[in-house]
Structure 1
Amino acid sequence: MKKINKDIIIVGFALFAMFFGAGNLLFPPFLGLITGKSWLIGFSGFILADVGLSLLAILAIAKCSGEVGKIFSRAGHKLSIALGCAIMICIGPLLAIPRTAATTFEMGIQPIFNNFNAVIFSVIFFAITLLLTIKPSKVVDIIGSYLTPALLIALLVLIGMGIFNPLGNIEPSTIHNVFSEGIFQGYQTLDALGAVSLGAIVITSIANKGYTKKEEQFSITFKAGLVAGAGLFLVYGGLTYLGATVSTMFDTTVSQAGLIVSITEMLLGLPGKVILGIIVALACLTTAIGLTSATGQYFAKLTNNKLKYEVVVTVVCLFSLVVSNFGVSTIIQFSAPILTFVYPPTIVLVVFTLFGDNIKNDNVFKFATYAALFISILNIISDFGVNVPVIKSLPLASLGFNWVVPVAIAAVIGYFVKSKNNSQSKLERKSA
């Protein structure tokens, strides 16, 4: 019993660190700034959309024994491969992994070492990432046992200083829909998208620890998810409060990165830059390690190991090294439409996977997924300046969830359309 509790804590710590990237460091303080005295209400919405959706994704992966493809399989073979690859490329070498290195350089290195070469830093960052990723069975232990405690200590020093020495009075909220804004900010972290891939690493680690039964793996994953969720709850809450304490000092025009840098400097002076650098470096490194390993495992499984894990993670690190030198703002700029496209259908399939045993008709999955993709495309068109009135008039549009009602309607229609290839029926026949 003692061993299983230790393993749950290690896996939970690793999940916390892999979720907590530098982007997560930026959102909560800004949310606190704009919500002021109502920061707790905004924070509640943030936790619901961020941690809540992420835990659902982790559980869905656990239910599928760590195989990402199974989450998408009932939407159709071709679509499942396309979505799976799109997600892994997005959260892998195209967007998320390069952003971790670029963010570390811009927030953690440049403020301390003005003349440090960005390319040299990228080489060092991805050399460390590759070194700690090349053996997938060790990824969770390395992060959970060593990197996460260091990250937590650095974060708690910053938050503790802000709690015991508040920087200022907390002003009333500058916005009206506080809870809605919290949900929107949590949604924008895109942690649930990352959770789909990170869950595969967790299951691999749990299996390598000797827990081979599906029920054991699901139970440990669930408990580890609670550990990670509790850590995120405390850290996000502390950072949101820090933002609220400077609500008299900054307005909404301040950049999110500039806000956290300023808070750190005001609390800790010049050493604050060093502590922030450590926090950002650890947060980004743990996320890069987790996502690189997840990408390697996915493509190795997809190709029946024709593409070796070691080869994939090496290519991912090299490609990410190049992309990271475009800078954070450039990466974010071209990432937005891609993420808008893949996020809604992913969440739809995650939720449906959790209740899939009770859904016999594959057309429920297919119709709902295509509806989510269709609304995503309209959202992208609208974001590029084309007038699409129906998008803004859909229910929940103000929260960024305008795809929910169309998906629900499509799922109901799919339920009444007979499926020719019912995956659930096939599985039942095989088990019989």
Structure 2
Amino acid sequence: AIMIVLLIIVGMVAYTTPSTAAPMGKYAASAFGNGFVEGYNTVDTLASFAFCIIALGAMKRIHFASEKEHVASVWMAGAAVAVLMGGLYLGLALLGNHFPIPQSVYEDASVNLGAYVLSQTSFQIFGTVGMAFLAVMVTLTCFTTTVGLIAAVSTFFAEEFPVLSYKKYVTLICLVSLVLANLGLNQIIQVTLPLLLFVYPIAISVVMLTIINKFVGLSKLGMRCTVTAAGLVSAIDIVAQFFHLDGAAALIQGLPLGDSGLGWLVPVLICLALSLVLPGKISGESALDESL
């Protein structure tokens, strides 16, 4: 993380003027929507579910003075991570906004713009040493995430499907990941995008429900409708994008923000609002698990 912050700071000093180039391609139609959807590829929200298993397990081994102190520590840790990660991504966004990208790069579908900005910024600021710097930065950043995910996923499968031991699940996941990693970034994104388009809106809905339900009671029926709406609209959107069915495409385009890839958002917010007024309200830490 320190290396990424250093690159952002030096890059902002080197490129002080925002790019004047007009958005091209899909970004011309909806820069925010496409940027938001491409953020799914970071898998940060999904990874956070896995990391919570490790983090909460570690915190349970800490002897807090009281339950209140335990809960406060969890909230403080979560808030700190949210602020720091938000600042990091904001810095990367500003760096991308200031870095000049040639039109030929925009038009080349094989180029990943995020990877291009990072690699070219490192090269132009630090030269060939910058490329080594970037390699070390990406390796360290991805290594910590990878270790956490492998540990969390292996723990889950070892507990739920004890056909294999924890170590065997770790070995299997590492081998499968090694094969998939060599497909290349664009190919990995192409393969995983349909799954992410379906899972991410559901995950975001669950996060919103969890946070709100900590403060107010929500209807069990309303919570189920919220998650169902997220999954249903996302499934229709995937059918429209990858199977090119006109009926599905027309339905998605008829939704608010449908042309931005965020057609699920308004239906989810409506169902979330209904959760506040429908009968059968429940609240507490297990409320969401109970309702879903």
TM-score, normalising length: structure 2: 0.77
For the 8 Å contact 1:193–1:346, the answer to whether it is kept is yes
Three-state SS of the structure 1 residue aligned to 2:48 is helix
Structure 2 CA distance for aligned equivalents of residues 155 and 413 of structure 1: 42
Structure 2 CA distance for aligned equivalents of residues 217 and 308 of structure 1: 31
The Cα of 1:207 is off from its aligned counterpart by 1.9
Equivalent residue for 1:329, pick from 186, 191, 209: 186
- The answer to whether structure 1 residue 159 and structure 2 residue 15 are counterparts is no
What residue number does 1:396 align with? 257
The Cα of 1:411 is off from its aligned counterpart by 5.5
Superposed CA offset, 1:174-196 (max 9, x none): 24766656545545544222212
| Structure 1 residues 396 and 203: CA distance shift in structure 2, 3 A | same
Structure 2 CA distance for aligned equivalents of residues 162 and 409 of structure 1: 41
What residue number does 1:223 align with? 76
- The answer to whether structure 1 residue 290 and structure 2 residue 152 are counterparts is no
- The answer to whether structure 1 residue 255 and structure 2 residue 109 are counterparts is no
Structure 2 CA distance for aligned equivalents of residues 339 and 199 of structure 1: 19
Equivalent residue for 2:206, pick from 349, 356, 370: 349
In the TM superposition, 1:161-180 aligns within 5 A as 161-164=10-13, 166-167=14-15, 169-172=17-20, 174-175=22-23
For the 8 Å contact 1:371–1:407, the answer to whether it is kept is yes
Superposed CA offset, 1:118-166 (max 9, x none): xxxxxxxxxxxxxxxxxxxxxxxxxxxxxxxxx41x22432333244x1
Structure 2 CA distance for aligned equivalents of residues 210 and 330 of structure 1: 46
Structure 1 CA distance for aligned equivalents of residues 31 and 198 of structure 2: 26
For the 8 Å contact 1:362–1:424, the answer to whether it is kept is no
| Structure 1 residues 212 and 364: CA distance shift in structure 2, 3 A | farther
| Structure 1 residues 323 and 356: CA distance shift in structure 2, 3 A | same
User: What number of residue pairs does the alignment pair up?
Assistant: 271
The Cα of 1:200 is off from its aligned counterpart by 1.4
Equivalent residue for 2:223, pick from 336, 340, 365: 365
The Cα of 1:354 is off from its aligned counterpart by 2.5
For the 8 Å contact 1:364–1:411, the answer to whether it is kept is yes
For the 8 Å contact 1:167–1:267, the answer to whether it is kept is no
Structure 2 CA distance for aligned equivalents of residues 168 and 360 of structure 1: 47
For the 8 Å contact 2:8–2:91, the answer to whether it is kept is yes
The Cα of 1:372 is off from its aligned counterpart by 1.7
| Structure 1 residues 190 and 174: CA distance shift in structure 2, 3 A | farther
The Cα of 1:284 is off from its aligned counterpart by 1.2
Three-state SS of the structure 2 residue aligned to 1:355 is helix
Superposed CA offset, 1:203-234 (max 9, x none): 11222233485533332222223332343344
Three-state SS of the structure 2 residue aligned to 1:210 is coil
The Cα of 1:416 is off from its aligned counterpart by 8.6
What residue number does 1:10 align with? none
Structure 2 CA distance for aligned equivalents of residues 188 and 155 of structure 1: 18
Superposed CA offset, 1:300-340 (max 9, x none): 3435x665433322221122223223332222111011111
Gaps of 5+ in 2: 288-292
For the 8 Å contact 1:367–1:413, the answer to whether it is kept is no
Structure 2 CA distance for aligned equivalents of residues 409 and 156 of structure 1: 38
For the 8 Å contact 2:252–2:259, the answer to whether it is kept is no
What residue number does 1:238 align with? 91
What residue number does 2:245 align with? 386
For the 8 Å contact 2:198–2:238, the answer to whether it is kept is yes
For the 8 Å contact 1:341–1:376, the answer to whether it is kept is yes
| Structure 1 residues 369 and 179: CA distance shift in structure 2, 3 A | closer
Three-state SS of the structure 1 residue aligned to 2:172 is helix
The Cα of 1:237 is off from its aligned counterpart by 3.6
For the 8 Å contact 1:292–1:317, the answer to whether it is kept is yes
| Structure 1 residues 200 and 347: CA distance shift in structure 2, 3 A | same
Superposed CA offset, 1:263-318 (max 9, x none): 11110011011101101111111110111112122223435x66543332222112
| Structure 1 residues 160 and 416: CA distance shift in structure 2, 3 A | closer
Structure 1 CA distance for aligned equivalents of residues 84 and 217 of structure 2: 34
For the 8 Å contact 2:41–2:193, the answer to whether it is kept is no
For the 8 Å contact 2:226–2:271, the answer to whether it is kept is yes
Gaps of 5+ in 1: 1-150
RCO higher in structure (CA 8 A, sep ≥6): 1
- The answer to whether structure 1 residue 274 and structure 2 residue 274 are counterparts is no
1:296 maps to a residue whose letter is: S
Structure 1 CA distance for aligned equivalents of residues 171 and 87 of structure 2: 35
Q: What percentage of residue pairs aligned between the two structures are identical?
A: 27
For the 8 Å contact 1:366–1:414, the answer to whether it is kept is no
